[in-house]
Structure 1
Amino acid sequence: MSALSRKIAKTVKIDRISAIWIIPIVTLGIGIWMLYSHFAEQGKSVTLLAHDASGIVAGKTVIRSRSVDVGIVESVTLSKDYKKVVIHGRINKDMEPLVKNDSIFWIVKPQIGREGVTGLGTLLSGVYIELVAGKDQSDFNDKPFSLSDTPPLTAPNEAGIRINLESSQSGVIPRGASVLFRGYRVGNVETSDFDIQSRKMKYQLFISKPYDTLITQNVRFWKEGGVNLSLSSQGANLDIPSIDVLLSGGISFDVPDGTKFGEPVKPFATYQLYQNKKSIQDSQYTDYHEFLLFFNDSISGLEVGAPVEYRGIRIGSVSQVPFYTRKILATNPISNHNIPVLIRIEPGRLSDVLEQPTDLAKIIINEQHNGLRAALKSANFITGALYIDLNYYSEYQNTPFETQSQAFGYDTIMTVPAGLSQLQAKLLQTLDNFNKLPLDKTVNELNQSLQKSQKLLESLTAITNSKDMQNLPKELKTTIESLNKTLQSLQPGSALHNQLQTDLQKFESMMDQLSPVLDTLNDKSNSLIFAAPKKQDPQPKARGH
């Protein structure tokens, strides 16, 4: 046997683990613990869907709530259909209660809006994602959130009430518009959408606490935002809203005059949006009786909602103008010049006047036998608006009328021509009579007279332009000057006047001397030839003889 075979080593089996394995085992345990600790402290993962990822950087863009970092964006990718941006973020462990099913995320960046300039701080730090916690207490369902470009108008956890409005009117009230109660802002318009199927605008309003108690069953909503100018018998009324409402519009609400507030409503109750405050007054009269009227006058200026009055007291409203149905059109009403108008008699308008309920429709039907008629009257001469007036007319009293007279299934009210129509008819009759006058003959005679007058004027013009007529003023002026000189020479103090005065004195003296001779000639005309007898002196006589 060789020496090699004699030196084979002996093997011994060891029953315990070697101490060398302690180090890798401890290292593996530490690694597992660190890995578990890392994932355990990461918090919830959230998925956000956006239209674009402008300014968002994975590992850098933070998620904040009230300016406190609560998470970070881990990755930014595109969706499988490449139509949206998928952003994966991680919320810190201690901030997990902020993430609920109704939480809201939006991007904060520099913007200019209704509230002014916001997000200026992001110019240096970059954009970030803001988180507002919701109030849904159900289990988190890991559904993706929508990442909005604009902040929410109201936080999900803000106390208040949300309601819905429907409107078939033209015009849109934008998101963020004010909601007012008697001019005071109590909320805002959260959403403004158009429903294609119903063809109506639908709005969601938020009324903050404590003003949510103002939303009751009897409140009515109407549009604000325009300058309202109303003309009435009391004068003109100009209503101008605030600048904020004037620029962006708004919605006001209140209860109609004379109506109680009613009971509170549940969230997301639906209301109708009216055109203006005036229209909400008519919405409370749900009890009415319809009458059909036929007018032979023009209804231009008569609109839906126009008042129906009895001697100045409103008792109803115009429902449809003109009112055409298939039955009415089948009778060809245009050929008989009668235009149908449907009105509503609303007894509720007299609730403050009448102590007991009255069948107003029955009274109107019966009183037509006594001359009650309907007529179109002018409500405003400037705008041309019309209303329907019910009144008694003496010329129609005791006229035959069927108390159950109906037309096309509606009770009727007989009509009379309006005052303006009567005036127009008289004016047309006057114009017709004027047209019948022999104006042609009168005009011909007038033309002949004018021609003769023209010839006379031409003759006078020729005479005036002749040399004799032109020299006449000069000769007349010379005569007047001579007469003036003559009159000046006869004035007192002039030589001619003094000479005439002296001659008149001499003539008077001569007449005194001739007086005896004239007396003698009067007694005896031949005394100049024969001597006149001497006269005896008169003898005095005794008294009584």
Structure 2
Amino acid sequence: MNQNLPCTEPRPIPAAKKVTRRRSPISLIWIVPLVAVLIGIGLAVSAILQRGPEIELQFASGDGLDVHKTKLKYKEVAIGTVTAIALSEDHHSVKVSVQMDKRAAPLLAGDSRFWVVRPRVAAGGVSGLNTLLSGAYIALDPGKSRNVKRAFVGLESPPLVIGDMPGRQFVLGADDLGSLDVGAPVYYRHIPVGRVVGYVMRPDGKGVDVRIFVDEPYDHFVTTATRFWHASGIDLSVGADGMKLEMQSLLSVVAGGVAFGGGDASNGEAPVASRFTLFSDQTTALRQPDSIVQKYVLVFNESVRGLTVGAPVDFRGISAGEVSRIDIDFNRRASDVAMAVEISLYPERFARQQRNRPTALPTQQGLRQILDGMVAKGFRGQLRTGNLLTGQRYVALDFFPKAKAAPIGWNRPIPELPTQPGSLDSLQEKLVAVVDTLQGTLQRVDRLIAHVDQEVVPEVAPTLRDARQTLARANAVLSSDAPVQMELRDTLREVERAAASVRDLADTLEQQPQSVLTGKKASK
């Protein structure tokens, strides 16, 4: 070994220090569930903050409604969910609990309406077809009341008018409903412009009030002078004016309908919920109103069969009024029965028809003088047939120059106008006279035939027998097998042969004229 090298000894290796690790109080495996819990709490808090009030709806049936599935919608946007369905205490309906969204709380006014949207077939058409795949849902029509409610009675059918629908409602008063129903169309110039939204009987039971809704912009055509009438089904009327057939559309035949017309913009638009009269037909509705009515009585000594109340009173083609009453006028002194027809005359119609319209109608005294002058010239009332098919009659006012003089009975409770026998009765009298004449003629013919049989025939009988014998001999001579006929036929045959010989001679002379001198040449 080399002693010059220093001597080195191995140093001892220090012992490693023991590291002590601190354990985390929460294990990593709990982080994920903790995060999930926090998220759930956040969602729950958010749901609680977003959750609105809970409302209760009452329906007749829970058909189509499912817990936690059926939605409450407004404008096709879900704003709530059905949370419970249970029977009511009286078991006559169901109670549906709906959890609303917080933002939808202002929609819960006291007059808000709820209904179940499902497929329906009604007079107005088919609705709710989109729910065939998506399922039924509850619809909301917000109200305008300031009162707040949490319990509502749902509608059994969808309302035809909702709060934000543009248009106006009107009320029509009628004697009866006719064939109208909710959803029946409303027409203007044969165009559907609205619908019937409801009806109710009046408290006194003497009529009905029909509510209609006219869509915008057609509601502006409803003025204060507008007239409404039934346009239900087929309007067939047969009267003294003839036969009339009117129909709006095929839908009105099935579901009925209402039509309106008349008036213009100068009359001004009718306010919302204005009240109108619903007339039975278009003719009655558009008839110009008359403010002055004068009653008169016409007494007829003839049958008034075919004349009805409401029949027209006509003056040379102008409707002057109508029949208002028909009674029996019994005269005890004369033991006679006549028919008293009360008519309503409208003097304004005469004024409207005049070429030079007067500024005002004549006074009662002036009108009386005018009628007295007209009656003096033959002005009378007469029954006439207006329709030969139905036999319906009307009252005609006209001048009859040959009529007997008769005054107006002004002293009666209702003034009595003189009358003229009807043309039909005159025709019947003429027909009776003709029949009587024909009967007399037939009787004379019968007597003549009897005279011929009794007196003439016996005298001419021998002459008739001689004539028959002569005819028999003539028939014997002219028969085909009589001798005269056979001799005549033989004579005719001889004449025919002689004629043939003459034709042969004529032919020979034509070909050989010299044969008269030289004789006929022999044929080669």
TM tier, smaller: 0.7 to 0.9
Can you give the 5+ residue segments of structure 2 that lack an aligned partner in the other structure?
Answer: 1-41, 507-524
Partner of 1:57: 66
Structure 1 stretch displaced more, 76-85 or 357-366: 357-366
- 1:82/1:432 CA distance change after superposition, 3 Å: farther
Partner of 1:540: none
After superposition, what is the alpha-carbon deviation per residue over 1:445-467, rounded to whole angstroms, capped at 9, x for unaligned?
469859x79x99x9999999999
Structure 1 stretch displaced more, 369-378 or 241-250: 241-250
Structure 1 stretch displaced more, 68-77 or 167-176: 167-176
- 1:386/1:438 CA distance change after superposition, 3 Å: closer
Contact 2:85 2:95 in 1 (8 A): yes
User: Is 1:351 the counterpart of 2:341 in the alignment?
Assistant: no
Aligned pairs, number: 452
Structure 1 stretch displaced more, 76-85 or 330-339: 330-339
Q: Report the Cα offset of residue 483 of structure 1.
A: 4.5
Q: Report the Cα offset of residue 400 of structure 1.
A: 4.5
Contact 2:240 2:385 in 1 (8 A): no
- 1:400/1:39 CA distance change after superposition, 3 Å: same
Instruction: Provide TM-score, normalisation by structure 2.
Output: 0.72
**420, 423, 427: which one pairs with 1:423?**
427
- 1:424/1:401 CA distance change after superposition, 3 Å: same
User: Is 1:373 the counterpart of 2:380 in the alignment?
Assistant: yes
User: Is 1:298 the counterpart of 2:316 in the alignment?
Assistant: no
After superposition, what is the alpha-carbon deviation per residue over 1:309-358, rounded to whole angstroms, capped at 9, x for unaligned?
222222x2214242x4xxx7887899734222222211222325241133
Q: Secondary structure at the match of 1:482?
A: helix
Bigger Rg, which one: 1
- 1:123/1:159 CA distance change after superposition, 3 Å: closer
Distance 2:201 2:102 in 1: 41
Structure 1 stretch displaced more, 228-237 or 352-361: 228-237
Contact 2:240 2:312 in 1 (8 A): no
After superposition, what is the alpha-carbon deviation per residue over 1:186-214, rounded to whole angstroms, capped at 9, x for unaligned?
21111144558424343110012222222
After superposition, what is the alpha-carbon deviation per residue over 1:93-150, rounded to whole angstroms, capped at 9, x for unaligned?
111233323332221122344566543443444321111223x1423244523332x3
**270, 278, 291: which one pairs with 2:283?**
278
Amino acid at match of 1:272: T
Contact 1:365 1:403 in 2 (8 A): no
Distance 1:334 1:196 in 2: 51
- 1:469/1:120 CA distance change after superposition, 3 Å: same
Q: Report the Cα offset of residue 218 of structure 1.
A: 1.4
Partner of 1:411: 415
Distance 2:77 2:44 in 1: 27
Amino acid at match of 1:58: V
Distance 2:194 2:180 in 1: 14
Q: Report the Cα offset of residue 222 of structure 1.
A: 1.0
Partner of 2:194: 187
Q: Report the Cα offset of residue 292 of structure 1.
A: 1.6
Amino acid at match of 2:289: Q
Instruction: Provide TM-score, normalisation by structure 1.
Output: 0.70
Contact 2:298 2:340 in 1 (8 A): yes
**75, 78, 100: which one pairs with 1:69?**
78
Distance 1:469 1:167 in 2: 97
Question: What percentage of aligned pairs have identical amino acids?
Answer: 23
Partner of 2:313: 308
Q: Report the Cα offset of residue 403 of structure 1.
A: 5.8
- 1:89/1:107 CA distance change after superposition, 3 Å: same
Contact 1:64 1:70 in 2 (8 A): yes
Partner of 2:19: none
Can you give the 5+ residue segments of structure 1 that lack an aligned partner in the other structure?
Answer: 1-32, 499-545
Q: Report the Cα offset of residue 64 of structure 1.
A: 1.2
Partner of 2:153: 145
Contact 1:491 1:497 in 2 (8 A): no
Contact 2:172 2:277 in 1 (8 A): yes
User: Is 1:163 the counterpart of 2:164 in the alignment?
Assistant: no
- 1:332/1:108 CA distance change after superposition, 3 Å: farther
Partner of 2:341: 341
- 1:443/1:90 CA distance change after superposition, 3 Å: farther
Q: Secondary structure at the match of 2:446?
A: helix
Q: Report the Cα offset of residue 63 of structure 1.
A: 0.8
Cα-Cα RMSD? 4.3
Amino acid at match of 1:425: E
User: Is 1:442 the counterpart of 2:441 in the alignment?
Assistant: no
- 1:266/1:405 CA distance change after superposition, 3 Å: same
Distance 1:306 1:289 in 2: 16
Contact 1:376 1:387 in 2 (8 A): yes
Contact 1:172 1:201 in 2 (8 A): no
Distance 1:477 1:168 in 2: 100
Contact 1:302 1:321 in 2 (8 A): no
Contact 2:409 2:416 in 1 (8 A): no
- 1:242/1:271 CA distance change after superposition, 3 Å: same
- 1:142/1:334 CA distance change after superposition, 3 Å: farther
Partner of 1:267: 272
Q: Report the Cα offset of residue 249 of structure 1.
A: 2.2
Contact 1:168 1:200 in 2 (8 A): yes
- 1:68/1:438 CA distance change after superposition, 3 Å: closer
User: Is 1:83 the counterpart of 2:99 in the alignment?
Assistant: no
Q: Report the Cα offset of residue 468 of structure 1.
A: 7.5
Partner of 2:210: 203
Contact 2:240 2:311 in 1 (8 A): no
